[in-house]
Amino acid sequence: MLVSAGRLVSKTPTFPGVTSDWFYDYERSRAGMAYNLLYRRQLWVGVVVNKRARGTARLPLKVYERDDLNRPEARNHPYAQLLRKPHPTISPYRFWEWTSSTYDVFGEAAWLKQRDRGNRPVALIPLHPTALDYRDGKWFFDNGKTKLDGIDPADLVHFKTYNPDDAARGLSPLERLRDTLENEAAARSATSSFWLNGARPGFALTHPNNLSEPAQTRLRAQWDSQYAGAGKTGRTVILEEGMEPKPLTISNEDAQYIETRKLNREEVCAEYDIPPPVVHILDHATYSNITEQMRSMYRDTMAPHLKGFESDLETQLRAPDFGEEVYAEFLMDEVLRGDFEQRAEAYKAADYMTIAEKRRAENLPYIPGTDVILVNTASQPLDQLTAPPAPVPVPAPSVEPTVIEAEAVRLDQVSVRSIMGRLSWQTELGQVEPAELVKGLAPADAALVLGVLATSREVPELKARLRAMTAKEIGR
């Protein structure tokens, strides 16, 4: 157990490891529930358990305030601080890897709440399920070195699978795989025996005459010493006069050895709801379906697995110890998003997102001015498109006649024509040079033109007012 220097003194009976007979003691193995041995000795059990555990440990577990509209992250909340560093000496990744692996192997995992003086949990201590016992509404822990009696259920976070026989304890998925794993162990044992005996089936040495028992013993010993064993495969066989070797056992093809082993690994994947291509079983994988099955790992396999963890955290840790204002959630956005081309197309269609939000999703820095939502104004309601156009209002004159314009009889057309030439290229009033505009005019005319320039708002307006100030334009 991790709480006792990382060493586990298991309550599960273990069997001798020098031979493979541990697996075939069927009743004893079922009674002992030696799931740790199944995990250590069965390749595909370890593969799928590790896959799920690492898939869980890599995901960020964040705490949010209960605000469905804005979803603000509560990084400084005590609940968030606890989940960010649940154990003082174990990294969060290894902490969740242990929790998920133990849960998948034994059907349950447990944390002990270590509380401060204010009775609030400040650390979570993993307790191995093989050392836990539930009696009279209390938990008891004894791994041979650490002993805890009478643990209140409120001081424990207990993850467990459904068990039809016991509401307090979980049921290991390996229990349903025992027959499958027994077949797998038998197939592997047969392969080992096949290679140890010369990578060839058993033989019968026939002789046309009757042999005495000493002669039979001598011939068998001579054959085994010279030709049995994987290192002696391919040697030339020399038989005595009249002897003939005949194979006795069936071939691997006849025994469907390969098909049996494939079936065993697929049943392990099925028990843990793992798509075979995710663990590199590519028999039926294609270029078109393998990407989708990789995503299915998190969408269909990990999502229920993680939801169970989140639910237990809500009921056993957050609700009794940290109040109602926050909640925890595993984030799968990173692992579920597509490749760059797919993301680019999705961002193009995501008109509900600002450019700043899209850049943040791609881990790009913020650019000022990008936190606005752009709307395509070409989209209009259908009833507005079919309605008759509204009359366009005629704007009122922007400039009222002034005293200066009323007294413009002294500005002749030659002066106005000269001024218009000087205003031939300007598009804004800021480009007009007052001194150049009135160069060569009489002081009174220059003062009149500069007064119109100062009260105009744009170049076309200035030109119109200057033309209106000649005697011709005003009807004089």
Which residues constitute the domain of residue 417? 403-468
Residue 210 backbone phi and psi in degrees, to 5:
-80, 130
Domain shared by 444 and 332, yes or no: no
pLDDT of the residue at 205? 64
**Residue after which a domain boundary falls, among 336, 354, 369:** 336
Q: What is the DSSP string of 104-155?
A: HHHSEEEEEEEE-TTS-EEEEEEE-GGGEEEETTEEEEE-SS-EEEEE-GGG
Domain shared by 183 and 40, yes or no: yes
Q: Which DSSP symbol is given to 251?
A: P
pLDDT of the residue at 177? 85
Alpha-carbon distance of 429 to 420, in angstroms, equals 14
**Residue after which a domain boundary falls, among 315, 336, 357:** 336
Q: Is residue 4 part of a domain?
A: yes
Domain shared by 409 and 331, yes or no: no
pLDDT of the residue at 337? 66
Reading the block at residue 215, the tokens are 């002669």
pLDDT of the residue at 377? 60
Domain shared by 82 and 176, yes or no: yes
Alpha-carbon distance of 276 to 325, in angstroms, equals 41
Domain shared by 16 and 100, yes or no: yes
First-to-last CA distance in the chain?
109
pLDDT of the residue at 348? 80
Q: Is residue 457 part of a domain?
A: yes
Q: Are strands 156-160 and 108-115 parallel, antiparallel or unpaired?
A: antiparallel
Per-residue pLDDT of the chain in tens (476 residues, 90 and over written 9):
333 333 334 444 333 333 333 333 333 333 335 888 888 888 889 999 999 999 999 999 999 998 877 788 899 999 999 999 999 999 999 999 999 999 999 999 999 999 999 899 999 999 999 999 999 999 999 988 889 999 999 999 999 999 998 889 999 998 888 878 877 777 777 767 666 665 455 566 676 767 677 877 877 777 677 666 555 555 566 666 666 766 655 555 545 667 777 778 888 888 998 888 888 777 776 766 777 777 788 888 888 999 999 999 999 999 999 988 999 999 887 776 666 677 777 778 888 888 888 887 776 788 888 888 776 666 666 666 566 666 655 454 444 444 444 444 456 776 777 788 778 788 888 888 888 888 878 887 888 888 888 888 888 888 888 887 775 444 44
Domain shared by 315 and 427, yes or no: no
SS3 string of 383-419?
A: HHHHCCCCCCCCCCCCCCCCHHHHCHHHECHHHHHHH
Count how many domains the chain has: 2
- 450 close to 443: Cβ distance less than 8 angstroms: no
Domain shared by 314 and 461, yes or no: no
Q: Is residue 398 part of a domain?
A: no
**Residue after which a domain boundary falls, among 291, 319, 336:** 336
Q: Is residue 93 part of a domain?
A: yes
Domain shared by 2 and 101, yes or no: yes
SS3 string of 409-456?
A: HHECHHHHHHHHHHCCCCCCHHHCCHHHHCCCCCHHHHHHHHHHHHHC
Domain shared by 30 and 114, yes or no: yes
pLDDT of the residue at 21? 39
